[in-house]
Amino acid sequence: MNFKKAAAIVTAAGALAAISVPAMALENEFHGMYRLRGIMSNFQNAGAPAFPADSADPKTMTVFEQRARLQYTAKVSDDLKLITHFEMDSSWGDNGGATGGRGLGGGMGADSVNLETKNVYLDFNIPSTPVHAKVGIQAWSDAYKGIFINDDLAGAFFDANLGGLKTTAGFARLQDGPSNANPVGQKTGDLYVLDAKYSLTKDLTLGGSYYLYRNDMNYKTSDVHMVGLNAAAKVGPVAMDAFAAIQAGEVGTSVANKKDLLAFAAQVAAKATVGPGALRASFLYASGDNNNGAGSKNHAFQNPAGYVGSSSNFYSSNLLLLMRSVYAMDSDKAIVMTTNNANQGLMLGTLGFDANITDKLGASVNAGFGLNAERNTTTTSNSKYMGTELNASINYKLFANLTATLDGAYVILGDRFKNTATAGATPKDPYMTEVMLNYAF
C-alpha cells in the first residue's frame, strides 16, 4: 500500500469517527490579564510578625515583577461550564536563570517551568432547583471583606436565590495530610460555610454567617466557630456598610497547648459621591491578646494559618505598605500581613478620595493609621501605634484594556517600632514608588 492510499484511509476513518460522535455545542472563552510592576523601595524586609527584620536603614532596592493570568472556560450552556485559571509569575533576573519553580523564569535564558494552577472547577445550575454550584479549586472570600479568609480553595459551594434571599452552603479542604504528604483524609484542615443575605429593599441588605474552621492536623488542634452579621445601605449619594463577627472555640498547635478562644472583629465604612469622584472612610477593629502565649485564654482574632498560600486581607483599605496591597505579587509584604497581626489584633482607620479627572485620567489619594489592639512583645516603648501611611496614585488609560499607573507611598512609623531594629536602633520610615502596567482581556 503506497503512502497516498494510507493517507486516504486514515482521513476517511477520522471523518467517520467524527460524524459518529454525538453533536455538542461548545463555546470556548478566553480571558486573562498581564501586570508589570517596577518598584523602588527601602521596604524589602517587611513581614509578619518581625518588622523590621534586620537593618535599621535598609538600602533602596529596585525590582521588576510581572504576573500573567490565563482563563479558559469550556461552556456547554449558561447552566454548565468548566472554568480553568492559570498563573505565571516572574521577577526580572530572579535567581540568574534558575528553572523549575514557582515565580521563576525571569532570569537570562528564561525557560522555567512555572505555570501555576489557580482555579479548576465546574460551574453549574442543578436542574429544576434554584441552586447554583461551584465544585473544585476556586476563589473564595468571606462576607467580611476578606479579614478571615480570601484565597483559592479546593471545595464545593452551593448558592440559592430565593426571591430577596441568597443563601450559600459550602465546604473546603485546606490541607490533607501533614506537609501535604500522604493524604489519607484523617489529618486535615477543613472549612465549613453558611452564609445568607436578604435584600429588604434595593438600598438595604442584611446578612449573617456561620463559619467553622477545624484544624485536625494533630487531633483537633483548633476549632474556630465564627458567627457574624453584616449590613449595607445606600442613602442618596452615600453608600455605607458595617459588620461584626465573634469567634469562639479552641486554638493551639497541639492537644497539650490548646487555649479557649473568644475574639471579635468589627468594621464600619462609608463612600460618598463628592464632585468629580468618591470620598471613602473606614475603621476596622480586630481583637488581640496580650498574654504572649501564657494562660489558658486567647482573645486574638484568628485566621487559618500554617498552610502554604493561606491568606486574609483588607484590600479595601487601599494601602500599599501598612496593609497588604491588592496589587502585590511575589513581593507581597506589609507591616501588617493579617488581621491577626501576630496575635496582637488591629485598629485601622482609613480615608481616601478617588477622582475621575477625564475619561482616561484618574487619581487617588489615601491615608491610613494602624495600631495594635493589644501588645504581646516587650520593647523600649509601650506604644501600640504602628504608624500612618500616606499614598497617592495617578492612572491613565493608554487603551481601553491597558492602564498605566504611578504610585507613591510613605509610612511615618509610630513609637511601636522605636528601638526595635538591629542593635537597638529605630528603623527608617518605609517608602515605595512604582510604575505599573495593567492589561486585561
So what's the pLDDT on residue 8? 47
Distance CA 30, CA 68 (A): 13
pLDDT tens-place string over residues 332-373: 889 998 999 989 999 999 999 999 999 999 999 999 999 999
Structure confidence at residue 176 (pLDDT): 85
- Give the model's pLDDT for residue 293: 60
Whether the model clears a pTM of 0.85, i.e. scores above it, the answer is: yes
Q: Which three cell numbers stand for residue 285?
A: 477593629
Are 240 and 257 spatial neighbours (Cβ–Cβ below 8 Å)?
no
How many angstroms separate the CA atoms of 324 and 51, rounded? 14
Stretch 140-145: mean pLDDT: 97
Alpha-carbon span 164 to 161, nearest angstrom: 7
Check whether 290 has a pLDDT greater than 90. Answer: no
Q: Domains of the chain by range and CATH?
A: 3-440 (2.40.160.100)
d(CA 289, CA 79): 47
> Which pLDDT value is given to residue 184?
76
Which value, to the nearest 10 degrees, does the dihedral of the CA atoms of residues 302, 264, 153, 172 take?
100
pLDDT for res 215? 87
What are 30-70's pLDDT values in tens digits?
999 999 999 999 986 544 445 665 567 778 889 999 999 99
Tell me the pLDDT tens digit for each residue of 89-104: 998 988 766 667 777 7
Q: Exposed (0-12), middle (13-18) or buried (19+): which is 282, by Cβ within 10 Å?
A: buried
Residue at grid coordinates 514557582: 102
